[in-house]
């Protein structure tokens, strides 16, 4: 059994870096023609400069690329602030990319896909779609909201032969998290709460996105698939110095 996307065209928003870049690579490896739509440039893939906060620009991408089969709405930004210090500007910027940008992308994709009665959409949500990690009010609100888009779109698009699913990554090594990954004290404490004892790699998310986008996931729609090394399943810290060693950036049993 193999993921085969031969002959399919895929668009990945935020595909110039991180999870999006690895997703573009995974989809290409499965045979798809991949176009990256991002604010940042990439030379590795056919590229369209796109700001997902601009509805008309998102729509123009789909006009330019006729017959898009797979859309990965992945572009996103972070931003920390204590609840009582978050500025309206920071709140608005995060909502514009992470929530409204996903809405624009799903809407533009749905309009084209409905006409063809086929298509697969994958959203990048987060474990923060389910929890309330401190200092991330805006981020958490947008990632909860992405699941609202997911479930509503699944209801509306299913009858038209269009599937939509989400991945909910935990702590994944990208630009968004590089400071944390580079700090052993931070990693030691963070990974103590992860059953697998380590952060994740963007390829580990990309493989699941490729599966969800493929015919192998033909009976999946409206699903939010958690890829978090067990983080959401964990209640208390799992790893400690009695049972394990912390090595560089992960825990190993003694």
Q: Which is nearer to ligand NAD, 3 or 73 (CB)?
A: 73
Q: Kindly state the smallest distance separating residue 169's Cβ from ligand NAD, in Å.
A: 4
| Among residues 74, 140, 214, 221, the one that binds ligand NAD under rule CB under 6 A | 74
Asked if residue 51 binds ligand NAD (CB under 6 A), the reply is yes
Q: Which stretch binds ligand NAD (CB under 6 A): 2-10, 113-121, 170-178, 232-240?
A: 170-178
User: Rule CB under 6 A: is residue 165 a binding residue for ligand NAD?
Assistant: no
Distance between CA 224 and CA 208 in Å, rounded? 11
Query: Is 81 exposed, middle or buried, given 0-12, 13-18 or 19+ CB atoms closer than 10 A?
Result: middle
Nearer to ligand NAD, 40 or 216 (CB): 40
Task: Select from 93, 103, 137, 141 the least CA-distant residue to 123.
Answer: 103
> Binder to ligand NAD among 50, 70, 194, 208 (CB under 6 A)?
50
- Regarding 38 and contact with ligand NAD (CB under 6 A), the answer is yes
Q: Are strands 162-169 and 119-124 parallel, antiparallel or unpaired?
A: parallel
- Candidate ranges 113-121, 150-158, 165-173, 234-242; the one touching ligand NAD (CB under 6 A): 165-173
Angle at which helices 88-95 and 137-157 cross, to 10°: 30
Quick one: 38 or 249, whose CB is closer to ligand NAD? 38
Instruction: Classify each residue of 41-74 as buried b or exposed e, where b means 16 or more C-beta atoms within 10 Å of its C-beta.
Output: ebeebebbebbbbeeebbbebbeebeebbbbbbb
Q: Does 93 help bind ligand NAD (rule: CB under 6 A)? A: no
- Closest approach, Cβ 82 to ligand NAD, in A, equals 20
Give me the residues paired with residue 33 across strands: 9
Catalytic annotation on 139?
A: yes
Mapped onto helix, strand or coil, the DSSP state of residue 239 is: coil
Strands in the chain per DSSP E? 9-13, 33-38, 47-49, 70-73, 119-124, 162-169, 224-227, 244-247, 250-253
Residues 8, 11, 13, 147: which binds ligand NAD (CB under 6 A)?
13
Strand partners, 246: 251
Question: Minimum distance from CB of 27 to ligand NAD (Å)?
Answer: 15
- Residue closer to ligand NAD by CB (options 114, 177) is 177
List residues with catalytic annotation: 139
Interacting residues with ligand NAD (CB under 6 A)? 13-14, 16-20, 38-40, 50-53, 74-77, 97, 101, 124, 126, 169, 171-172, 174-177
């Amino acid at each position: 059994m193999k993921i085969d996307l031969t002959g399919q065209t895929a668009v990945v928003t935020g595909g110039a870096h991180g999870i999006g870049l690895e997703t573009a690579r995974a989809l290409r490896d499965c045979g798809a023609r991949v176009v990256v739509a991002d604010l940042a440039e990439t030379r590795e893939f056919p590229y369209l400069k796109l700001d997902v906060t601009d509805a008309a620009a998102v729509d123009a991408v789909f006009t330019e690329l006729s017959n898009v089969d797979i859309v990965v709405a992945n572009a996103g930004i972070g931003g920390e602030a204590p609840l009582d210090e978050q500025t309206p500007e920071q709140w608005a910027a995060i909502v514009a990319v992470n929530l409204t940008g996903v809405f624009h992308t799903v809407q533009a994709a749905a309009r084209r896909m409905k006409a063809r009665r086929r298509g697969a959409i994958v959203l990048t949500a987060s474990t923060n779609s389910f929890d309330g990690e401190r200092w991330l009010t805006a981020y958490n609100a947008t990632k909860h909201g992405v699941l609202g888009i997911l479930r509503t779109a699944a209801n509306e698009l299913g009858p038209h032969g269009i599937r939509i699913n989400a991945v909910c990554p935990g702590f994944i090594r990208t630009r968004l998290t590089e400071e944390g990954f580079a700090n052993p004290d931070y990693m030691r404490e963070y990974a103590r709460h992860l059953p697998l004892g380590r952060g994740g790699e963007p390829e580990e998310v990309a493989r699941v996105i490729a599966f969800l986008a493929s015919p192998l996931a033909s009976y999946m729609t409206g699903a939010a698939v958690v890829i978090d090394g067990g983080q959401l399943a964990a209640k208390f810290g799992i790893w400690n110095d009695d049972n394990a060693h912390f090595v560089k950036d992960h825990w190993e049993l003694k």
